[in-house]
Structure 1
Amino acid sequence: MASIDLPDPETDGSTSVERAIATRTSRRSFARPPLELADVAQLLWAAQGVTHVRDGVEMRTAPSAGATYPLVAFLEVAPEGCAALDAGLYRYEPGAHRLEATVQEAIHDALTEAALGQAVVQAAPATIVLAAEAERTRRQYPDHGDRYVHMEAGHAAQNVHLVCESRTLQSCPVGAFDDDAVAATLELPARLEPLYLVPVGNRPADQ
């Protein structure tokens, strides 16, 4: 399985949090140039990257109930979607800040179909898929574990949307998809369920 080390994330960008919040909007069209690996690295770090270690636990960019961290971030890359990556599917490894190729062939059309044919998924050069091993959180919080997992997915996705604003990228939240079809397309193990799709790409000059 191919492994790709990612560039270090930036932690001192020039766009303020307030500015990113003020300009954030869902955008459904993308410029043609492929994504740069540095942009991919920044987005995945924003979703699930490690910020520090506390009591032996790698703490991540998005808050997690009891630091159970049920989320797994995947990157689906369309043909010619990223200058440094082949088309296919990659799993983000937060501790090592690297990608592991899990599906080494194009699945872009299949993912679009699983997302009910939405044009934004088809148009995007890449899509971040947030999946969850919800049992990790349910074991610790049997009454509210599912709620916490979905909250965490929202936290992680919002980080991605705000980083897109800070880097003149585009993103759009997608929740309408066939769960089983997405899981099959991504060849997810049974313990993982897809929760959130975030198509991403470069911003056209006129937007």
Structure 2
Amino acid sequence: MACSKPEPAPSPIPPPATPSPAASAQPVTIDLPEPKHDSAVSLEQSLLQRRSVREYKDEPLTLQEVSQLLWAAQGFNDPGGLRTAPSAGALYPLETYLVAGNVQGLAPGVYRYLPRGHKLERVVEGDKRHALAGAALGQSPVSKAAVDVVFTAVYSRTTGRYGERG
């Protein structure tokens, strides 16, 4: 009997606990520009203007825009190590990856965001947006966006403290 449910393609992103593919070599890291901590647009205005889109302009993002996006997602907002996103027990099990394809000044590839130091670490070279779209059941917008942001979880960071309820 044929199954009509599509099978996801393998993910182009390695598991978060896996060392960098070039483990024997020094990993390639990219310093990100400092994020802005103020804006002329209020949070309320941003929420009112928020819309989902599925069609993307064929224009590159700047490294400053990528920096701002990653900082807002998981960046440090406190010298003690607290971040912009909350985490039970400040254990931060989420890892943030950037699948870059069209960013000024950044080679296409998969990068792990390093909140401490506000940097990117390249884990895979080359444009992997089409592979990611395949892993996302063929969603073509994934392959057309300038970047895709992927969140993974390292469950042991929370299960070590909270057990199975993690």
| TM-score using structure 2 length | 0.81
Percent identical residues: 43
Q: 1:39 aligns with which of 65, 70, 76?
A: 65
More helix by share: 1
The structure having more radius of gyration, on CA atoms, is: 2
Q: CA deviation at 1:132?
A: 0.9
Q: 1:118 aligns with which of 139, 144, 163?
A: 139
Q: CA deviation at 1:33?
A: 1.4
Superposed CA deviations along residues 178-205 of structure 1, whole A, max 9, x for unmatched, are xxxxxxxxxxxxxxxxxxxxxxxxxxxx
Q: 2:100 aligns with which of 73, 77, 99?
A: 77
Q: What does residue 17 of structure 2 align with?
A: none
Q: What does residue 125 of structure 2 align with?
A: 104
Distance in 2 between the 1:37 and 1:92 partners?
13
Q: What does residue 159 of structure 1 align with?
A: none
| TM-score using structure 1 length | 0.65
Distance in 1 between the 2:155 and 2:51 partners?
29
Between the two proteins, the alignment pairs up a number of residues equal to: 140
Q: CA deviation at 1:31?
A: 1.2
For structure 2, the 5+ residue unaligned runs are: 1-26
The residue matched to 1:141 in structure 2 has which SS? helix
Superposed CA deviations along residues 12-71 of structure 1, whole A, max 9, x for unmatched, are 1111000111121211111111000000000000111011133xxx11100000000111
Q: What does residue 141 of structure 1 align with?
A: 162
More strand by share: 1
Distance in 1 between the 2:111 and 2:49 partners?
29
Q: 1:24 aligns with which of 50, 69, 84?
A: 50
The residue matched to 1:30 in structure 2 has which SS? coil
The residue matched to 1:60 in structure 2 has which SS? coil
Q: CA deviation at 1:74?
A: 0.6
For structure 1, the 5+ residue unaligned runs are: 146-207
Once superposed, what is the RMSD of the aligned Cα atoms?
1.1
Retained in 1: the 8 A contact 2:129–2:144? Answer: no
